[in-house]
Structure 1
Amino acid sequence: MRLSNRNKTSVYSFINTLLIMLLAAGAGAYFLEERRFNILGKESLLLIAAPLFLIILFYLNGRQIFEYDSDGEALHFRNRNVIPFLQKPLSDEFPKYKLLKFEVINMFFMKRLYITISSKNTGTTMLKYEISYLTKKELADLRFSLNKVVKTNKEKSVNI
């Protein structure tokens, strides 16, 4: 199964550009307010604080683009940001039989995927992916696919 929200890259880029423009316009309005008009008083700080809060919220949600591929004998996860230099992109590929368990954590407005895989050196390794920008259907499909792999792995380990 393949799952990707890469087709929404232009939407996320537009939102990012809009937020940056909003911050720039707010900063310009703040300086005009302070130097020239002085109508709002102390509330003029909201002209900068509100767009800055929205930008921080946008980036705290995590990497926007998530790709998953379970075709073949390997699982492939990719997670990257719309702006490539902000965060290092994640890319992991491992055989399906190494997947032990997974967990989706749903915090207030953030979603995280924790994958536990078997490792020769340490026993187990935990991989973390940010999936906040997946739709409910995409998230349900991801859970279904990962459950299927985990179930198959448990059945194989019992038969051995």
Structure 2
Amino acid sequence: MRLSNRNNKPLFSFIYSLVGIIFILGVIAYVLEISKFDVFGKKAWILLAIPSLLFLLLYILGRPVFEYDSDGEALNFRNNHILYILARKDAKDEFPKYKLLKFNIINVFVFKRLYVYILSKKNHIVILKYDINYLSKKQIKDLKFSLNKVVKANKEIRHEHEDNTVAV
């Protein structure tokens, strides 16, 4: 199954550009307010606070472009940002399906994140994190369905392997 919101990239670019323009206009309005006009008085800080909060919200929402591919024998995850200024760390992970142990989706108000638990070569559990704020409800439902299918298949294989080991 393939899942991607890359086709919304122009919308994301527009939103980030709009917030950037609002931020620049807020700074200009603040400078003009304190040097020339004095319309807001002591509340001129609002001209900087509102655009800064919008910018902070976009930063907290994380990387907007998410791609998932479960076709074949491997799972592919890509999560990247459209602005290099905000790019904390783009995530590109590919691993065999049998390494997937479980996953967890955290959904708190405006914050959605996918945690994927995989088994490393040294039998340690590695947690991979992906921002899924910009996925629709249907896309999240499809992602859950696909990952549940892989986890269920892996549990059956591990259970069969344990039964064969005990029988020997």
TM-score of the superposition, structure 2-length normalised? 0.92
**Amino-acid identity (%):** 52
Aligned pair count?
Answer: 160
Cα distance, 1:42 vs. partner? 1.6
Partners of 1:72 and 1:22 in 2: CA distance = 45
Where 2:44 maps in the other structure, the secondary structure is helix
Which residue pairs with 1:141 in the alignment?
Answer: 142
1:122: how far off? Answer: 4.7
AA at the equivalent of 2:39: I
Where do 1:52-71 residues align within 5 Å? 52-71=52-71
Match of 1:8 in 2: 8
Shift in Å, 1:61: 0.8
* Partner in structure 1 of residue 164 of structure 2: none
Structure with max Cα Rg: 2
CA distance in structure 2 between the aligned counterparts of 1:19 and 1:43, rounded to whole angstroms: 21
CA distance in 1 between counterparts of 2:42 and 2:23 reads 18
Q: Does 1:37 align with 2:25?
A: no
**What are the Cα deviations for residues 13-66 of structure 1, in whole angstroms up to 9, with x where unaligned?**
111110010011111111111111111112211111101100110111111111
2:25 aligns to what? Answer: 25
User: Where does residue 165 of structure 2 map in the other structure?
Assistant: none
Root mean square deviation, CA, Å: 1.0
Per the alignment, in what secondary structure is the counterpart of residue 17 of structure 2? Answer: helix
CA distance in 2, matches of 1:39, 1:118: 60
- 1:87 aligns to what? 88
